[in-house]
Amino acid sequence: MDDRLARFSESISFDHRLYKQDIRGSIAHAKMLCRQSLLSADEFLSIERELRDIESILDRGEMPFRIELEDIHMHIEQTLIDRLGDTGRKLHTARSRNDQISTDLRLWVRESLDAVDGLLKNLQRAFLKRCTMDEGVVVPAYTHMQRAQPVLAAHYWLAYVEKLERDRTRLADCRRRCNVCPLGGAAVAGTSLPIDRHYSAELLEFEDVAANSIDISSDRDFAVESVFVLTMISQHLSGWAEEWILWSTTEFGFIKLPHAFCTGSSIMPQKVNPDTLELTRGKSARVVGNLQTLLVLIKGLPLAYNRDLQEDKPPLFDSFDTVIACLELAIPIVEQSELQPQIISARLDQGYLDATALMETLIARGMPQRTAHHKVGALVAIAKSRSVALVDLTDVEIQSIDETLDGSIRTTLGVSGAVRSYKSYGSSGPEQVAHQIQRWTDKLSP
């Protein structure tokens, strides 16, 4: 092989991180071969012993990687052959690098999905803990980045718990499709040797066995799907980061970020920059780009294995690394940040957040919704012209819009009254929020 091609085609520089999965898969394969009398018991024990010793060497970072051996699979197998000779050469019986790579990658993705799920659950718990920390605090909810209605801060935090739960269900669904064993599919057509693929799958804790040997080596749906799920997670983290970046500004002043996760300025001594949140927002672009890379990579590939698929690992690994790093930092930021209720409450009467509550009061008195909407809009216009709150309108001003209205409508006005008025399931009413907090407490308990 031309040295330039050797450098061009090697993957050991990035697939070495699959060594534990490769060794686990090889031991399971050898155990199956032994059970099927394709290896003797002594040969299996020798192979298992040497593979575990090779794993220890790799754990310590003591194996020199050689470009001419291309990938981690060949490094491990060649080391085994160097130690055991012909016994080591028997390990690759009834398998190909095609199904071997797919097996390793599925094992790695399965473990990584579980790691991400654990972090998502801890982030949910962090938001749930905030519900108690910020009990009773009312914040403005926004639509179109304009103040809309008042809500309990706990209701806001629970919105993120819900988003993260959808991420977790997508992870679980992706894991189910990933958890299918390709080992023993061999190069493309299967094998004439009497192997037991179901036993191999059982040893590796797969839930099912891939049923078509042609599909086995070309299938990377699980890799693409996992990065799609990670992309959704990164999008949720990016939206959260954007919101808290805004909330931490002097203009909002809603939240104080922990200084341990912020940085200063090289020239402005007063600055506390939300760099972790900005990087979380920025790194989401990498995950989106990785998804695009994988989609283009598999576009138009003929059956079955093609060398193009070697390029699936860098974007896959990077996506998991990036999202895990973001989640590891998001958890303490959520736990340690501090709402600023005095600043929030000082401006809660700005934006006419109680207008919808007033409209619904008129509806409850029998007025059609569109009529009530129009009349409250007119009252808001009067209040804006005088720069006062709705509750400060005079009886004359109220009756100028509708002579059937009087000062009694003021009892429904104000931010606290609006929050107390919410009754529908999933709303920001105190009873509903308490119910949801209890539901999530039960669901997220250890």
Tokens of 27: 């031991």
Q: Are residues 261 and 165 in the same domain?
A: yes
Phi-psi sector, 414: left (phi>0), alpha (psi -120 to 50), beta: left
Assigned domain for 430 exists: no
Beta-strand ranges (E) seen in 220-275 are 255-256
Task: Determine the pLDDT at residue 340.
Answer: 97
Tell me 47's DSSP state: H
| Catalytic one of 37, 144, 192, 424 | 144
Looking at the chain, the number of H-run helices and the number of E-run strands are 19, 6
Task: Quote the pLDDT of residue 44.
Answer: 98
Structure tokens at 351: 């934006």
Q: Is residue 222 a part of any domain in this protein?
A: yes
Measured distance CA(223)–CA(378) in Å, rounded: 55
CATH code: domain of residue 157: 1.20.200.10
Q: How far apart are CA 195 and CA 94, in angstroms?
A: 7
Is residue 424 included in any domain, yes or no?
A: no
Bridging pattern class, strands 208-209 and 180-181: parallel
Q: How much is the pLDDT for 52?
A: 98
Asked about 144 being catalytic, the answer comes back as yes
User: Peptide bond before 260: cis, by omega within 30 degrees of 0?
Assistant: no
Whether 11 and 308 have beta carbons less than 8 Å apart is answered as no
**Interatomic CA distance for residues 12 and 65, integer angstroms:** 7
Q: Is the separation of the CB atoms in 275 and 283 below 8 Å?
A: no
Residues 188 and 294 both lie in one domain: yes
What pLDDT does residue 406 have?
84
How far is residue 61 from each of residues 77, 178, 363, measured CA to CA in Å? 17, 29, 72
In a domain, 200, yes or no: no
The answer to whether residues 229 and 359 belong to one domain is: no
Would the CA dihedral through 100, 175, 291, 299 be positive or negative? Answer: positive
Q: Record the tokens describing residue 23, joined without a space.
A: 């060794």
335 part of a folded domain? yes
From 329, 346, 363, the end of a domain falls on 346
- At 215 the pLDDT is 96
pLDDT of residue 242: 98
Q: Which residues pair with 253 in a beta bridge?
A: none
141, containing H or E segment? strand 138-143
Domain boundary among 328, 346, 364: 346
**Residue-level pLDDT at 269:** 86
Distance CA 89, CA 427 (A): 65
Domain ends where: 93, 128, 151? 93
Amino acid at 350: Q
**Do 303 and 170 share a domain, yes or no?**
yes
Residue 264: which region, alpha, beta or left (left: phi > 0; alpha: psi -120 to 50)? beta
Based on the fold, state whether residues 77 and 25 are members of the same structural domain: yes
pLDDT score at 413: 85
Query: Is 64 part of a structural domain of the chain?
Result: yes
The number of distinct structural domains making up the chain is 3
Which H/E stretch holds residue 147? strand 146-152
Residue 51 belongs to domain with CATH number:
1.10.275.10
For residue 7, the model assigns a pLDDT of 93
Residue 445 domain flag: no
Say yes or no: 220 and 269 in one domain: yes
Q: Which two tokens stand for residue 47?
A: 């192979």
Shared domain check, 364 and 271 = no
Amino acid 112: pLDDT = 98
| Residues 136 and 237 grouped into a single domain | yes
Residue whose structure tokens are 């600055």: 271
Q: Which two tokens stand for residue 59?
A: 């754990």
Domain match, 339 and 386 both: no
- State how far the Cα of 381 lies from the Cα of 390, in Å rounded to an integer: 10
Percent of residues in the chain assigned helix, strand, coil, to nearest 5:
70, 5, 25
pLDDT digits (tens, 9 = 90+) for 389-428: 998 899 999 999 999 888 888 877 888 889 999 999 999 9
Q: What Å distances lie between residue 410 and 141, 367, 405, 417, CA to CA?
A: 22, 17, 10, 10
Same domain, 256 and 366: no
Q: Are residues 27 and 160 in the same domain?
A: no
Do 280 and 404 share a domain, yes or no? Answer: no
Which listed residue (13, 56, 265, 408) is catalytic?
265
Beta strands in 248-347 (DSSP E): 255-256, 338-339
Phi, psi of 208 (to 5 degrees): -150, 170
Question: What is the spatial distance between Cα 247 and Cα 245, in angstroms, rounded to a whole number?
Answer: 6
Q: Is the residue at 442 inside a domain?
A: no
Instruction: Kindly give the parts of the chain with pLDDT less than 50.
Output: none
Domain limits for position 162: 98-195+210-346
Residue 404's domain is classified under what CATH number?
A: 1.10.40.30
